[in-house]
């Protein structure tokens, strides 16, 4: 007899993925989705929210620093997902920020407000890597103070990566405190020794899912790998993945050659 399963799970509803995760993502977990450009991170995030809204009656919020609202709506329509309708029905909220214009302290404040009024069950943050790109801009006094840095600390030279790491840890803790299940998207530079660009979010995250584009003979194939998922017995294999007409499909039971 197996052990009794006490962990409540949030189903991604993505074909094959919940199976890999022993039923889904542990409720209230913060999971890093890391991968290279075009590996399917944004699509996976959107699919997680669309399935939540359509199949599980859960509200979702999509926070993006990367793309415009129009880009997101158009990408989703490619897979038959009508985000505008879900928004109209109060099941989804798409929020766009521009870190070159908005300070991180402003973003965090807005986010707190929206979570407490909209009360979503699922959140996608696309992407945490943007924080690193704008580290210098984030170094306004208000943001630094909100990250717990004192005047004395600011007097010494603050390196961009120090600010980035602190900001990333702060965001991960903030997401955790909301009491919802989040996917945090992270760009993975090629040939990185780390699992994220900021090098710290992998430790703060409850789970890490890597998306790959692999070169195999003449063709490229997509694959997915669960590297870490607290409270979960999961496969450690590299599993092939498809971008099908209605979204991502994980081909559990198949192998990557
Ligand atoms: N309708 C479609 N059918 C099949 N595949 C598609 C379709 N639309 C987009 N794609 C694939 O999805 C990729 C984009 O996926 P996505 O935007 O999720 O990647 P990403 O990992 O978020 O990339 P980035 O780091 O650049 O933001 C495209 O490059 C393309 O290969
Ligand atoms: Mg993306």
What residues sit around ligand 2, an ion, with C-beta below 5 angstroms?
Answer: 42
135 pLDDT above the threshold of 90: no
CA of 39 to the centre of ligand 2 (A): 8
Residue 198, pLDDT score: 81
Residue 189, pLDDT score: 76
Of 253 and 181, more confident: 181
Retrieve residue 14's tokens: 């993505």
Q: Report in angstroms the alpha-carbon separations of 37 from 40, 86, 118.
A: 8, 27, 31
Residue having the nearest C-alpha atom to atom 25 of ligand 1? 37
Residue 3, pLDDT score: 60
**Do residues 46 and 248 lie in contact, with contact meaning Cβ atoms separated by under 8 Å?**
no
Residue 2, pLDDT score: 54
Band of the pLDDT at 127, cuts 50, 70, 90? very high
Residue identified by tokens 């302290």 is 105
Three-state secondary structure call for residue 243? strand
89 pLDDT above the threshold of 90: yes
Mean pLDDT for the chain overall: 90
Q: Who's near 16: CB < 8 A, 6+ residues apart?
A: 239, 249, 250, 251, 252
Return the domain boundaries, the chain: 9-250
Is the CB of residue 54 below 6 angstroms from any atom belonging to ligand 1? Answer: no
Is the CB of residue 187 below 6 angstroms from any atom belonging to ligand 1? Answer: yes
Retrieve residue 126's tokens: 């696309």
Q: What is the average pLDDT across 113-130?
A: 96
pTM: 0.92
Kindly give the number of the ligand 1 atom that is closest to the alpha carbon of 67: 27
Band of the pLDDT at 84, cuts 50, 70, 90? very high
What pLDDT, in 10s, does the model give residues 25-80? 999 999 999 999 999 999 999 999 999 999 999 999 999 998 999 999 999 999 99
CA of 124 to the centre of ligand 2 (A): 11
CA of 38 to the centre of ligand 2 (A): 7
Is the CB of residue 40 below 6 angstroms from any atom belonging to ligand 1? Answer: yes
Is the CB of residue 42 below 6 angstroms from any atom belonging to ligand 1? Answer: yes
Band of the pLDDT at 1, cuts 50, 70, 90? very low
Which top CATH class is 9-250? alpha beta
CA of 219 to the centre of ligand 2 (A): 22
131 pLDDT above the threshold of 90: no
Q: Who's near 139: CB < 8 A, 6+ residues apart?
A: 158, 160, 163
Residue 164, pLDDT score: 83
CB atoms within 10 A of CB 237: 15
Residue 155, pLDDT score: 62
Among 41-45, 100-104, 135-139, 179-183, the least confident range: 135-139
Q: What is the average pLDDT across 95-108?
A: 87
What pLDDT, in 10s, does the model give residues 216-253? 888 899 999 999 999 999 988 999 999 999 999 999 98
């Amino acid at each position: 007899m197996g052990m009794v399963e006490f962990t409540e799970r949030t189903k991604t509803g993505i074909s094959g993925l919940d199976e890999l995760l022993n039923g889904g993502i542990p409720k209230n977990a913060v999971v890093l989705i890391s991968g290279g450009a075009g590996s399917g991170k944004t699509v996976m995030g959107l699919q997680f929210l669309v399935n939540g809204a359509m199949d599980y009656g859960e509200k979702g919020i999509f926070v993006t620093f990367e793309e415009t609202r129009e880009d997101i709506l158009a990408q989703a329509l490619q897979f038959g997902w009508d985000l505008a309708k879900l928004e109209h029905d109060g099941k989804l909220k798409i929020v766009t920020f521009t870190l070159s214009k908005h300070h991180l302290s402003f973003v965090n404040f807005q986010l707190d407000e929206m979570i407490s009024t909209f009360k979503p069950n699922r959140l996608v943050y696309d992407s945490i890597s943007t924080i690193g790109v704008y580290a210098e801009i984030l170094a306004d006094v208000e943001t630094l103070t909100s990250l717990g840095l004192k005047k004395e600390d600011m007097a010494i030279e603050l390196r961009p990566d120090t600010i980035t790491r602190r900001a990333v840890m702060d965001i991960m803790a903030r997401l955790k405190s909301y009491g919802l299940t989040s996917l945090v998207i992270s760009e993975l530079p090629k040939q990185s020794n780390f699992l994220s660009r900021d090098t710290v979010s992998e430790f703060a995250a409850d789970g890490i899912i890597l998306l790959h584009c692999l070169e195999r003979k003449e063709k490229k194939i997509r694959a997915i790998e669960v590297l870490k998922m607290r409270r979960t017995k999961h496969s450690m294999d590299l599993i092939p993945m498809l971008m099908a007409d209605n979204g991502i499909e994980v081909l559990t039971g198949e192998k990557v050659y």
